[in-house]
Structure 1
Amino acid sequence: MDLLDPLLLARWQFGLTTLYHFIFVPLTLGMGLIVAIFQTCWYRTAHVKWLALTRFFGKIFLINFAMGVVTGIVQEFQFGMNWSDYSRFVGDVFGAPLAFEGLLAFFLEATFLGLWIFGWDRLPKLAHLASIWMVWIGACLSAYFILAANAWMQNPVGYEMAPDGSRAELVDFWAVLTNPVALATFPHTMFAAFMFAAAVVIAAAAWHLSRHRDVEMMRPALRFGMWGMIIAFVGVFLAGDQLAMVMVETQPMKMAAAEAAYHTVCGADASFSLFSLGTPDGSHEIFSIRVPYLLALLSTHTFDGCVEGINDLNAAYLAQFPQFAEQLDGSLPFSPIIWVTYWSFRWMMGFGAAATLISVVGLWLTRTKAKRAVPQWAWRVAIWSAPLPLLGSLVGWVFTEMGRQPWIVFSLMLTEDGVSPTVPGWQVLTSLIAFTAIYAALAVVEFGLILRTVRKGPDPLPEPDDGSGGPGSPAESIPSTVY
């Protein structure tokens, strides 16, 4: 293996920077909704604890939003630096959703975020509430346009090849926006984002409650986060079920690789393996623990359905894409790295299920009629479980992108054909090291700011006799300088 291979280094750099950027994306999407809900509770009830929670988690939201913008800019640089051939091939199609993301969704989000930050003491209460909801809607639109662009790489639609075959040309933008993969991926991503934001709320509330601080505010925040975690997990499961159906239809190799199913199986043989070992070349299974019928049920919603195997699909692709087969090596050239897809698929589900189980136990321990105080170990578990939904989302994206290999655009372009042909490996390595160092420093800053905000806690509640807490009261005039 050539350590200065431009393709290898470019893939590592894009993978690392993308996953790092995605650390901030789900928290922005989920925390924006939570802040909007808390502010709505304040608007409807005039209870000042909801105002304090809005401002407290609003600070975390703003810190994360700013860092997400900074890290997201680097993503587009890489298309021109390391993936110029890919950019030329997909530019006509990719440019449309990315342009809408920047010109429509991001500007909508940024404009109303400015109104929300500086409008506490300037806007009417309802208008100020509407601004945070518009921020969240803008974030959702931004996420959808980006997911639509990514979905085109998984399932190309709405395009025609140029007469010389050098690039894909957009002919139906609506088809790109309504790509079945995008429609299934969006709710799955949004529910997963809310799980992570709920986990952050749970961890922050648990930290204060374990120290008997701000109990009046943090107890409802904790219960809200736990119920939100459970509801979001149900949403992730249902949306993931639909996504699996679409995946079987559009990318059957990815589904086969997720199960390490080397041969086509039907009915009871289409079982789901909880654990599996294969041969070193990844062509055969040695040992596994399986649940009968489950894979058929997940893939086809029937107990007698069939799931195509890796070997059979590889043979079909060899016949369907002979022009690409000549470039690929190995006994299964059209399959991804099996152990990566197999385990990332299970880690994705396992991390989410573990976080949800912790919330279920937490709701029981913190119920109103509980006869015993919550033990300290339970608070520690709640605090340290915060990264679990994020880890699930990250390995989920590893599965999504690695499961598409060896394609950078499924059925149209191999990953090795998308790399910049004139950029030497040492230049890619230099930028990889620089980005990694910068991102490490930004991670320290991000974590430090959020940790300091959490430890400081919400601003003290106003005294009952100071006139605060109701509509038209001084509590409505919150100086923007608190941010």
Structure 2
Amino acid sequence: MDVLELARWQFGITTVYHFLMVPLTIGLSVLVAAMQTAWVRTGKSRHLKMTKFWGKLLLINFAMGVVTGIVQEFQFGMTWSAYSRFVGDVFGAPLAMEGLVAFFVESTFLGLWIFGWDRLPKKVHLACAWAFSLATVASAYFILAANSWMQHPVGVEFVNGKPTMNSIGAVLTNNTALAAIPHTLAGAFSVAAAFLVGVAGWHLWRKRTASDEHRDVWRSSLRLGGWVGVVAFAVLAITGDTQGKLMFEQQPMKMASAEALCHTEKPASFSILAIGDVANANCEDVKTFTVPALLSFLAHNDFSTEVKGVENLIGEYQAKYGTNYPNDPDLGPLAGKPIDYVPNLPATYWGFRVMIGFGAISAGIGVLALWLTRRGRIPGNRWFPLLMLGGIATPFIGNSAGWIFTEMGRQPFVVAPNPTGVEGMWMFTAQAVSKLTAGEVLTSLIALTALYLVLGVVELYLMRKYVRGGVDAVMPPTSSSSKEDSDDDALSFAY
């Protein structure tokens, strides 16, 4: 493999791994703050125990997310320095805002929350929980604004051949960002909801025949997760539809690739499933099961809109952005070669379906969990805990597939052109990589992948330990004479 391919693999592996932690942290931080709010308002020990238990797991995941996220920042200067020079004037502002929010607001109030249980008044301590969780959401906002600029560059002008930001407001209110942010946050809540349902369902089933003073903790957690998961999937569907319409306008090649739509159709059918090899742009050997005219509706809210196919779009892209890469030695073997404007069709086509399919499965498991635990019921079937635990993985898979589709679908661009924006405002991925040897990138790829595997083992070990320990592993010891809802007991615990 050449430097470009190795660099893409490295960034892809580290990014997907990091994003396993991010949605769980975002969703769980808000839910933990809501649990603590319920405790402060009602004084019920159930809500305190929920806050303690899920808060411990949140902290483990947050710590791993910080460690893996730092690597992402360094890669901009290591393997993608040419890209960093090109977008630096634009990315500087939102990334600086994210850094200030993440490392100052998040860290400060998280620290106060961790060590303030026995030192701060209840309501002040609760305010720290909300400040931390909302700062996590704000941090995601700025990162997504930067990423959305790569998908749809706005608020810039060319100065000395480089994009220079002339409106931070345009960057932060990019319509691509305004659609991506609620979609991503809904995905985060879907992950947190499945995590609650899986872990709580397992505990509930395990204690079904024994007297367990914490049973109400698991039932409340499971049902909270089930309802959050259902609502999150509804938001995912609505915001996904909005993103699809923007994709039709801004990145038509990505939409055609998502459907393996090789030839223009009017009206265009939505492909449910393909049989055959979707890797070829002519799709001669592919048969699909389709819903007539549905893709036209998803693209433009009517059932008659023309949707252009891959083969037809290739000519348009060549006319707009050139047929060959610049004859630049920095491009290595691609210098002067024809540009392939077709993304990896199997990755985009199946990534899109994996995203939708696993998101729906996650919501379905949540609905099933709500039904099986209605009116105080506790399922006794042996498949119940296996299904609940297995359901934890489904939104993680859906989230990862969605990002793989999003990022690979805009290739060969690392900064995709805006059809109505500044002329010439784009960058090919081949132009973005640093001047390194394949051996140097391969070494860092192997080292980072090995490090991430070790970190993954550590996180799984810690998560398993505290999940199995249950509420007793995170609550302070109480004497037999203590009251269940004693403030002294509640506030004596520090993480």
- The answer to whether the Cα contact below 8 Å between 1:125 and 1:476 also exists between their aligned partners in 2 is no
Q: Deviations over 1:263-282 (max 9, x none)?
A: 22222x43333324346533
Q: Return the alpha-carbon distance in structure 2 between the equivalents of residues 311 and 54 of structure 1.
A: 54
Moved more, 246-255 or 318-327: 318-327
Q: Does 1:391 align with 2:397?
A: yes
AA partner of residue 258 (structure 2): A
Secondary structure, aligned partner of 1:123: coil
Take 2:163 and 2:33, find their aligned partners in 1: how far apart are those partners?
40
Distance 1:439 1:140, change over 3 A: same
Fraction of identical pairs, as percent: 47
Q: Is the 8 Å Cα contact of residues 407 and 415 (structure 1) preserved in structure 2?
A: yes
Match of 1:309 in 2: 309
**1:106·1:142 contact (CA, 8 Å) conserved in 2?**
no
Counterpart residue type for residue 35 of structure 1? V
Runs (5+) with no aligned partner, structure 2: 327-333, 418-425
**How far has the Cα of 1:321 moved from its partner?**
1.1
Letter in 2 for 1:335: V
The match for 2:33 is 36
Q: Quick check: 1:185–1:243 contact (8 Å CA) kept in 2? A: yes
| Counterpart-to-counterpart distance in 2, 1:84 and 1:151 | 20
Match of residue 19 from structure 1: 16
Match of 1:446 among 459, 474, 477: 459
DSSP 3-state at the match of 1:408:
strand
The C-alpha deviation readout for 1:81-140, integer Å capped at 9, x for no partner, is 111111111111111100010023431111110111111111111111111111111001
Partner of 1:112: 109
Instruction: Answer yes or no: is 1:85 the counterpart of 2:99.
Output: no
Question: 2: CA distance between counterparts of 1:96 and 1:102?
Answer: 10
C-alpha displacement of 1:466: 2.1
1:202 aligns with 2:197: yes
Q: Structure 1: which amino acid aligns with 2:111? A: G
Q: Secondary structure at the match of 1:334?
A: coil
In the alignment, which residue of structure 2 is the partner of 1:469?
Answer: 485
Letter in 2 for 1:435: L
Is residue 2:184 matched to residue 1:192?
no
Instruction: Give the corresponding residue for 2:384.
Output: 378
Displacement of 1:463: 7.7
Question: What is residue 321 of structure 1 aligned with on the other side?
Answer: 321
Comparing 144-153 and 358-367, the one that deviates more: 358-367
Would the aligned equivalents of 2:257 and 2:348 in 1 still touch at CA under 8 Å?
A: yes
Aligned residues of 1:274 and 1:291 also touching (Cα < 8 A): no
SS of residue matched to 2:374 = coil
| Kept after mapping to 2: 8 A contact 1:406/1:415 | yes
2:259 is matched with: 259
Aligned mates of 1:143, 1:446 — CA distance in 2: 22
* Alpha-carbon offset, residue 369 of structure 1: 6.6
- What residue number does 1:75 align with? 72
Within 2, Cα distance between the matches of 1:109 and 1:279? Answer: 44
Provide Cα deviations, 1:139-164, integer angstroms capped at 9, x if missing partner. 0111010001111110011111223x
Number of the residue aligned with 1:211: 206
Change (3 A) 1:374 1:405: same
Q: How do 1:388-427 residues align onto structure 2 when only pairs under 5 Å count?
A: 388-411=394-417, 412-421=426-435, 423-427=436-440
| Separation of aligned partners in 2, 1:330 and 1:474 | 72
Within-5 A mapping of 1:210-249: 210-212=205-207, 213=212, 214-249=214-249
* In structure 2, distance between residues paired with 1:369 and 1:91: 56
Q: Does 1:121 align with 2:128?
A: no
Match of 1:97 among 94, 97, 119: 94
CA RMSD for the aligned pairs?
2.0
Aligned length: 471
- 1:270 corresponds in structure 2 to 269
Aligned-pair CA distance for 1:462: 5.8
Q: 1:404 to 1:373 in 2, by over 3 A?
A: closer
> Could you tell me whether the CA contact under 8 Å between 1:6 and 1:425 is conserved in 2?
yes
Indicate conservation of the 8 Å contact 2:262/2:283, yes or no. yes
Q: Deviations over 1:166-220 (max 9, x none)?
A: x211111111101111110000000111111111111111221121053121111
Local SS of the residue matching 1:54: helix
Contiguous gaps of at least 5 residues in structure 1? none
Pick from 353, 368, 371 the counterpart of residue 361 of structure 1.
368
User: Does residue 1:435 correspond to 2:430, yes or no?
Assistant: no
Call closer, same or farther: CA 1:463–1:259 in 2, change over 3 Å: farther
